[in-house]
Amino acid sequence: MRIIELELRTARLAELKEFYTERLGFALADITEHSITIVAGETRLTFVREEEEGVMPSYHLAMNIPENQIREAKSWLLAKGCQVLSAVPLPFAGIQANEDIAYFEGTDAHAFYFEDPSGNLVEFIARHRMDNALSEPFDHESILNVSEIGFPLRGSVSEAVQRLDSRFNVTRYIGDGKTFQMLGDEYGMFILGDMAIGWYPSMKIPEVHPIGMTILDFQEGEFQLDPYPYTIRAVSERFV
């Protein structure tokens, strides 16, 4: 699955613009009074201002990086003045950890995490089953794409798995299908999680906020994962 567009809400639009474009160097693809769009490899990532007072949306998303550059990426991020979150081992889930870098046995991937000014839990993940090693020094242009977006669910993971599995060309990846499930492949995944369980590694309990995304899928159309404000648009070819 390829995520070519992702749209999220934020109550801190100006801070996100400064963080992603000025501090980290992401290209600014579009800007309006109410939104910004940055280029994260093959994905256009848009943040839209949250208009409801007192609402502070935050999400979990992951970005693929070259499979051989997890430590270089971490050093690059720290040099930008960002803080990497501590990782903890969870043997029952097949997660090893060395300080702030986690290793996921089930997916053969290393990752680390940080939070942006909107409180989004952002993951840089190096998937070793992908043939994408690079020799050039790591920077923002080394980021390949947004590869994961978390869908917090109110105890309805199994139902959501069935609905997404029947509508899209996705594979049931890692998970028990009841409290947690990854759907997709190394290029792109829906991360379905029971809201009672926090996102690793911060274990912060997620909230439901609008998500809009465009993916590549042979069956075109728009789908909403009712009763949640999660809208998925499927297109059969990438548009310019």
| Predicted confidence (pLDDT) per residue in 67-93, tens digit | 999 999 999 999 999 999 999 999 999
Q: Would you state the pLDDT for residue 86? A: 96
Q: Establish if 240 belongs to a structural domain.
A: no
Secondary structure class of 161 (helix, strand, coil): helix
Q: Establish if 13 belongs to a structural domain.
A: yes
Q: Check pLDDT > 60 for residue 197.
A: yes
Q: Establish if 135 belongs to a structural domain.
A: yes
Tokens representing 97? Answer: 């950890």
Q: Check pLDDT > 70 for residue 201.
A: yes
Query: pLDDT-based confidence at 240, cuts 50/70/90?
Result: low
106-126 pLDDT, tens digit per residue, is 999 999 999 999 999 999 999
Q: Would you state the pLDDT for residue 237? A: 86
Angle at 65 between CA 216 and CA 118, to 5 degrees: 80
Cα→Cα distances 134→8, 56, 67, 141, 203, Å:
30, 37, 8, 11, 32
Q: Establish if 40 belongs to a structural domain.
A: yes
Number of domain units in the chain: 1
32-81 pLDDT, tens digit per residue, is 999 999 999 999 999 999 999 999 999 999 999 999 999 999 999 999 99
Q: Would you state the pLDDT for residue 196? A: 92
Q: Which residue's structure tokens are 């997890």?
A: 70
Rounded to two decimals, the pTM is: 0.96
Q: Check pLDDT > 70 for residue 239.
A: no
Q: Average the pLDDT over 167-184 and give the result.
A: 92
Query: pLDDT-based confidence at 155, cuts 50/70/90?
Result: confident
In the sheet that holds 109-115, the strands lie side by side as: 95-98, 101-104, 109-115, 121-127, 60-65, 145-153, 188-194, 180-185, 172-175
Q: Would you state the pLDDT for residue 113? A: 98
Query: pLDDT-based confidence at 173, cuts 50/70/90?
Result: confident
Across the chain, what does the average pLDDT equal? 96
Q: Check pLDDT > 80 for residue 238.
A: no
Cα separation, 150 vs 184, in Å, equals 12
128-143 pLDDT, tens digit per residue, is 999 999 999 999 999 9
Residue range of the domain that includes 182: 2-235
Closest CA to 28 of 4, 50, 47: 47
Percent of the chain having pLDDT more than 90? 93
Q: Average the pLDDT over 176-183 and give the result.
A: 94
**CATH code for the domain of 171:** 3.10.180.10
Tokens representing 209? Answer: 């906020």
